[in-house]
Amino acid sequence: MRFKSKRSKACDISQEVKHIVYARDGSRCIFCGSYSGLPNAHFIPRSHGGLGVEENIITACPDCHYRMDNTIDRPVYLEAAEEYLRNIYPGWDKKKLVYSKWS
């Protein structure tokens, strides 16, 4: 049996969160509107402690998810995602989306 660290568990996206995010996003990529989107894109990346909570997860198609994570267009995608999330969650704060060992 393999054990996960508390941080790894906190950054995982549960099935419940995936269902909530997929419904919230209308089963579509929030960037291009494609129905091939999946609710598995972290706004704050897992590698930076991004939590697997609905306020940090968006639905993105494979192409947009790749562009958001791996291209020079990253700032444009992050700005669009941040605006999208701020419109849905009043008081949305990206500082609250990062794992903290002490909280």
pLDDT tens, position by position, 23-82: 999 999 999 999 999 999 999 998 898 999 999 999 999 999 999 999 999 999 999 999
Write out the H or E segment, with its range, that includes residue 57: strand 57-60
Tokens 């990529």 label which residue?
A: 29
Average pLDDT over residues 5-9: 73
Residue 48's CB is within 10 A of a number of other CB atoms, namely 11
Higher pLDDT, residue 12 or 24? 24
Closest CA to 88 of 59, 61, 55: 55
Question: Which tokens sit at 35?
Answer: 């129905």
Distance CA(85)–CA(5), nearest Å, equals: 28
- Residue 19 pLDDT more than 90? yes
C-alpha triplet 32, 74, 71: angle, nearest 5°:
95
- Set out the domains of the chain in order of their start, with CATH numbers: 6-90 (1.10.30)
pLDDT at 60: 97
